[in-house]
Structure 1
Amino acid sequence: MTRSTLLAAAVLAALSAPALAQDADADQVVATVNGQEITLGQMIVMKQSIQDPAMAEMPDQALWDVMLDQLIRQTAVAESAEDTAGVRAQLELQRRNTLASAAVSQIAQAEPTEEELQASYDRLFADAGSVTEYNAAHILVDSQEKAAELKAEVDGGADFGTVAEANSTGPSGPNKGDLGWFAADQMVPPFAEAVAALEPGQVSDPVETEFGWHVIKLNETRLREAPPLAEVRDQISQMVLREKVEAQIQSLVTAADVKKTEGLDPAQLNATDLLEAE
């Protein structure tokens, strides 16, 4: 093959290559249907929404052909739809939702600064170290008499865990009444007050709550420690982002010129026949 023949073949190959050049953008028209444009951006968004694994694994050219065919069919069929008030309302709701979601995504893209993370961490764990946590076990029964009887057994030398396992009706019974570690605000007030009045190793008199009668043994106490920032960094970061997004949304709403139409009947929400009007 001569050099001129090779050159001609290269030119022909270039001319027959897809029209989408490197300069193509999201507004690049890939097809028209009765004058309505289908763009590259629409194709890209459609691909992002694919949930069928089989389609997602298709070669680019095959997927391109399938999606373009679907969009062409969709566009052709859409032209036959009646432009009712319901259709217009749905399109406008979708448009607003898409724009609002895009705005929120843009706000959330900014990574929190170290100063913001530290400030949120300090605020969240400001009270850590001043909150007492308790490790306790209890026996739960349905009467004061039964609770007093079991308390007497424990006072007489019976093992608390063994008595709890044999008699407690609560879910902790099979685990010898063990409640693990908890703060006072995690328990109902009468129980929390009784625990706070005990010394480690001490067993309470019967205590009544909405769940029944308790005999409580306090094992030990400790001051709650704040976890290291590195350990909760991801959670703190998400919290900061949520707060920033909410603050920006509130700022936009506050700055918006909102006028509510007064005097409308809320029962009109049920007037679905209005959606059929053109």
Structure 2
Amino acid sequence: MSSHALHLWALTQPGNEHPTAAEDALQTFIKQFEIPDSWRQRSKLQQMNEAQLQAWVEEETRQRLAFDAEMSRRMARVTPDEIKAWLRDHATEVQIPERLSASHVFLSGHDKDKPDRTAEITAYHRRIIAGETTLSALAGEVSEDGRSNKLGGSLGWFSRDRVPANFAEKAFAQKVGELSAPFRTELGWHIVLVHAKRPARPATLEEAQAEVAAHLTSVRRSAESAKLKEEILKLIPVEKHLDRLTGVAPEN
């Protein structure tokens, strides 16, 4: 038997080489039951006593760890050249989306004592338009966005998928330097000022390499896992239980 076949054959053999991992697996199995000792009832339904259950968990753990170890041995690290090649062939699939830099004044829509705050947000908007204050100063005074009010209402840079859809619809439709009219989303009321825009563009190698490497590793692992399972199955003898075919008429 070749060393490769011998290594695969070892994966199919019984034995517990990982007692600590097996014990951890057994405790994890037990903890899934909310009622104490109900795991014993489940074992009885499966016609296993406690010793048989422990042996089953140990064997499942041994096989899982052996399989994982063999997968680790087989898996080759994704190289920089492979990442570059994938990016070259899939450039349109890895995009940095359009982004905005903006600030806002926000009044929550979840205050039961203030079901309609249209008059409030309108009054604040008029103060900004009249030059009585700035959005930044007003955000620090009245905005109820706990993250941005300490930053003068700044939301930093964000893409459409990082904010609610109806907020993105309004904000991304604005021109740079334009102050929005007050509007409402499912979160509450807003006044938005757009500072800058960055259009969508292909990701650079530095920006995309971690994501691409993870993708290629996942694809490679899936293919290698299927291959390993097929190889192991070929080494396991298949037993024919003709005695279980009672009642089945033989072919003439």
> Do the two structures share a fold, i.e. TM-score over 0.5?
yes
The change in CA–CA distance for 1:83 and 1:223 in structure 2 (over 3 A counts) is closer
**Cα distance in 1, alignment partners of residues 130 and 226 from structure 2:** 63
Report the AA paired with residue 121 of structure 2.
Answer: A
Aligned to 1:212: 188
Aligned ranges 1:10-21 → 2 under 5 Å: none
Aligned ranges 1:81-230 → 2 under 5 Å: 84-108=51-75, 110-122=76-88, 123=90, 126=93, 128=95, 131-142=97-108, 143-157=117-131, 158-171=133-146, 172-230=148-206
**Cα distance in 2, alignment partners of residues 165 and 252 from structure 1:** 60
Q: Deviations over 1:37-66 (max 9, x none)?
A: xxxxx8xx99xxxxxxxxxxxxxxxxxxxx
The change in CA–CA distance for 1:213 and 1:91 in structure 2 (over 3 A counts) is same
Q: Deviations over 1:138-176 (max 9, x none)?
A: 000141111111111111112110111111010211111
Per-residue deviation at 1:135?
A: 0.6
Seq. identity, %: 21
**Cα distance in 1, alignment partners of residues 130 and 79 from structure 2:** 60
Over aligned residues, Cα RMSD in angstroms?
3.1
* Structure 1, unpaired ranges of 5+: 1-41, 47-81, 258-278
**Cα distance in 2, alignment partners of residues 152 and 254 from structure 1:** 71
Report the AA paired with residue 119 of structure 2.
Answer: E
Give the conservation status (yes or no) of the 8 Å contact 1:112–1:241: yes
Per-residue deviation at 1:187?
A: 1.1
Report the AA paired with residue 185 of structure 1.
Answer: D
Give the conservation status (yes or no) of the 8 Å contact 2:105–2:142: yes
The change in CA–CA distance for 1:229 and 1:127 in structure 2 (over 3 A counts) is closer
Bigger shift: residues 212-221 or 142-151: 142-151
**Cα distance in 2, alignment partners of residues 220 and 207 from structure 1:** 20
Aligned to 1:274: none
**Cα distance in 2, alignment partners of residues 231 and 190 from structure 1:** 28
**Cα distance in 2, alignment partners of residues 210 and 231 from structure 1:** 33
**SS state of the match for residue 158, structure 2?**
strand
Give the conservation status (yes or no) of the 8 Å contact 2:94–2:203: no
With CA pairs under 8 Å and 6+ residues apart, which has the higher RCO, 1 or 2?
Answer: 2
Per-residue deviation at 1:254?
A: 8.0
* Structure 2, unpaired ranges of 5+: 1-16, 20-48, 109-116, 235-252
Per-residue deviation at 1:97?
A: 1.3
Give the conservation status (yes or no) of the 8 Å contact 2:94–2:208: no
Which runs of 4 or more aligned residues in structure 1 lie more than 3 Å from their structure 2 counterparts after TM superposition? 119-127, 224-228, 230-236, 250-257
Report the AA paired with residue 91 of structure 1.
Answer: E
Report the AA paired with residue 94 of structure 1.
Answer: T
In terms of Rg, which structure is larger? 1
